[in-house]
């Protein structure tokens, strides 16, 4: 294995080349009026291969994987510990993993199923969503919000409440209280509308937020500093 400083050993011309390549990709996608590519959606994994993979998984994710495969069909991509679906049902993407994460809200369980929807997340609401549920996953750049739990119903519940928090219709405290009541009702077979289907329609328009470039000005300042360094008048590079 290399040293911890390997990432810094790349020559300057390679760093510049890497930046230029990435910038060219951004311009290409923007020219196609897209904010991202979805090559994974073109892939396909045979169902029998996916079933063979999950046969080796721990019991909890294995049981959920069987139900997800039965409902949504074969995944687009797979590794020995993960299955991926893209643009299926209401979901922009799904990830089901054999690796479990312990989560205590609303009761101790493990998280392993992550489901995303296209939904813009204003930066000023991000802290509220994280305070509501630590298993909410925000991808502001892609314009997606995800929920990770052990059952699709609880992800649906989480995302419905996230939408209401974002829209200012519910506080974090209200959302946590309703989550607990709804989850308990769902387990007991009582009506639980917030856990039964998405109560909002993911926007059809592009929800991505590419943000704004700040590097041109920074690059100009760094070039000036580099010139100073070359002539011995600047601060030595770190």
163-190: pLDDT as tens digits: 999 999 999 999 999 999 999 999 999 9
* DSSP conformational letter for 78: E
Question: Is the peptide bond preceding residue 106 cis, with omega within 30 degrees of 0?
Answer: yes
- Comparing 206 with 129, which gets the higher pLDDT? 129
Question: For the ranges 48-52, 53-57, 106-110, 217-221, which has the lowest average pLDDT?
Answer: 217-221
Model pLDDT, residue 209: 83
Model pLDDT, residue 208: 84
Q: CA 13 to CA 17: how far, in whole Å?
A: 6
Model pLDDT, residue 235: 54
Question: For the ranges 26-35, 62-71, 104-113, 228-237, which has the lowest average pLDDT?
Answer: 228-237
Provide long-range contacts, Cβ within 8 A and 24+ apart, for 125-128. Answer: 125/165, 125/166, 128/165, 128/172
Residues 156-165 pLDDT 10s: 999 999 999 9
Share of the chain above pLDDT 70, in %: 85
Sheet holding 136-139, edge to edge: 77-79, 82-88, 91-103, 109-118, 144-149, 136-139
Query: Does pTM surpass 0.85?
Result: no
Which pLDDT band holds residue 137 (cuts at 50, 70, 90)?
A: very high
Within 10 A of 228 (CB to CB), how many other CB atoms are there? 12
Signed CA dihedral, 198, 201, 204, 206: sign only? negative
């Amino acid at each position: 294995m290399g040293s911890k400083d390997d990432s810094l050993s790349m020559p300057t011309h390679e760093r510049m080349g890497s930046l230029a390549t990435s910038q060219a990709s951004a311009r290409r996608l923007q020219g196609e009026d897209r904010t991202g590519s979805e090559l994974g959606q073109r892939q396909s994994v045979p169902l029998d291969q996916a079933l063979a993979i999950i046969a080796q998984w721990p019991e909890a994710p294995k049981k959920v994987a069987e139900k997800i495969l039965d409902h949504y069909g074969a995944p687009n991509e797979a590794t020995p510990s993960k299955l991926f679906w893209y643009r299926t049902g209401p979901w922009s993407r799904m990830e089901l993993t054999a690796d479990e994460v312990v989560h205590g809200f609303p009761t101790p369980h493990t998280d392993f199923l992550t489901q995303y929807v296209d939904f813009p997340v204003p930066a000023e609401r991000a802290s509220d969503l994280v305070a509501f549920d630590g298993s909410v996953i925000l991808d502001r750049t892609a314009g997606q919000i995800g929920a990770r739990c052990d059952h699709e119903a609880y992800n649906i519940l989480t995302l419905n409440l996230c939408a209401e928090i974002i829209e200012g219709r519910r506080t974090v405290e209200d959302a946590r209280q309703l989550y607990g009541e709804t989850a308990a009702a769902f387990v007991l077979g009582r009506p639980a509308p917030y856990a039964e289907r998405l109560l909002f329609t993911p926007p059809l328009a592009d929800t991505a937020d590419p943000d704004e470039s700040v590097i041109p000005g920074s690059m100009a300042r760094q070039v000036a500093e580099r010139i100073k360094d070359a002539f011995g008048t600047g601060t030595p590079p770190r």
